[in-house]
């Protein structure tokens, strides 16, 4: 992954609340439900041949539902009204990540998708922790407005455990091609980088 161009701006309190932070909220309002549907599809695909992966994706989908419940308070704190949210046109560079997650849901073996997704968790969680701190310190956001980022910043030992079990079972069953899984991981991380760089380039 490349250096994140936007999170340091937020960390320093230099990102505009009603443009940059609002765009982050609006893009995430598209990413979260799309990822949730992809995870549910992966869980369904994995039920018979990779039940350990199914358990992982079910928990991941539940997490997306919880995150969605917390996103509204962040958007409201950024000044995003319902009419603006409805009229918002997503940035293509921000939506390549969920588009690729959907591609993985259709094409990757579930254990390979587990590998690709978990490789990005630490970076995403670290970014969310930094943003949550900055929102409180520089922008005066309430705990409720920061809850979306707090949720992803919090470690999830159970999710890590399920990922480990799923990958081990997938390897034992011959469902993981290591080279292919590395390719999936590299592409997903590139699309994560593109999400942040697009937001940085598209807003003041």
In degrees, rounded to 5, the angle at the alpha carbon of residue 16 between the alpha carbons of residues 15 and 22 is 105
pLDDT digit string, tens, across residues 77-101: 999 999 999 999 999 999 999 999 9
Q: In whole angstroms, what is the distance from residue 80 CA to residue 78 CA?
A: 6
Question: How much is the pLDDT for 1?
Answer: 62
Q: What are the tokens at 142?
A: 């309430």
Confidence bin at 60 (pLDDT 50/70/90): very high
**Contact status, residue 116 vs residue 107, Cβ threshold 8 Å:** no
Q: What would the mean pLDDT of 139-156 be, rounded to a whole number?
A: 97
Q: Do residues 159 and 59 lie in contact, with contact meaning Cβ atoms separated by under 8 Å? A: yes
pLDDT grade for 37, boundaries at 50, 70 and 90: very high
DSSP structure class, residue 120: T
Per-domain boundaries in the chain: 7-202
Angle at 38 between CA 50 and CA 106, to 5 degrees: 65
C-alpha 20/C-alpha 48 separation (Å) is: 43
CATH of 7-202, one of 1.20.910.10, 1.10.10.1100, 1.10.287.610, 3.30.1540.20: 1.20.910.10
- Max CA distance (Å), the chain: 51
Angle at which helices 22-49 and 51-77 cross, to 10°: 170
The mean pLDDT value for 165-175 works out to 98
Q: pTM for the complete prediction? A: 0.96
Compute the distance between CA of residue 6 and CA of residue 16 in angstroms, rounded to an integer. 11
Residue tagged 């956001």 (tokens)? 141
Contact by Cβ (8 Å): 116, 192: no
Looking at every residue in the chain, the average pLDDT score rounds to 96
- The predicted pLDDT at position 203 comes to 82
């Amino acid at each position: 992954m490349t250096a994140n161009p936007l999170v340091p701006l937020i960390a320093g309190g230099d990102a505009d609340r009603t443009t940059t932070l609002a765009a982050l909220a609006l893009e995430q309002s598209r990413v979260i439900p799309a990822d949730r549907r992809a995870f549910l599809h992966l869980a369904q695909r994995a039920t018979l041949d990779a039940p350990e992966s199914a358990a992982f994706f079910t928990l991941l989908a539940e997490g997306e539902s919880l995150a969605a419940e917390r996103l509204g308070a962040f958007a409201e704190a950024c000044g995003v009204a319902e009419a603006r949210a409805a009229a918002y046109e997503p940035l293509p560079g921000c939506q390549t990540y969920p588009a690729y997650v959907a591609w993985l849901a259709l094409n990757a073996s579930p254990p390979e998708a587990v590998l690709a997704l978990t490789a990005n968790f630490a970076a995403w969680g670290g970014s969310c922790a930094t943003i949550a701190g900055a929102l409180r310190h520089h922008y005066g956001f309430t705990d409720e407005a920061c809850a979306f980022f707090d949720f992803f910043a919090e470690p999830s030992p159970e999710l890590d455990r399920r990922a480990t079990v799923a990958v081990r079972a997938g390897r034992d069953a011959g469902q993981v091609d290591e080279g292919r899984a590395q390719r999936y991981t590299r592409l997903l991380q590139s699309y994560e980088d593109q999400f942040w760089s697009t937001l940085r380039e598209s807003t003041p």
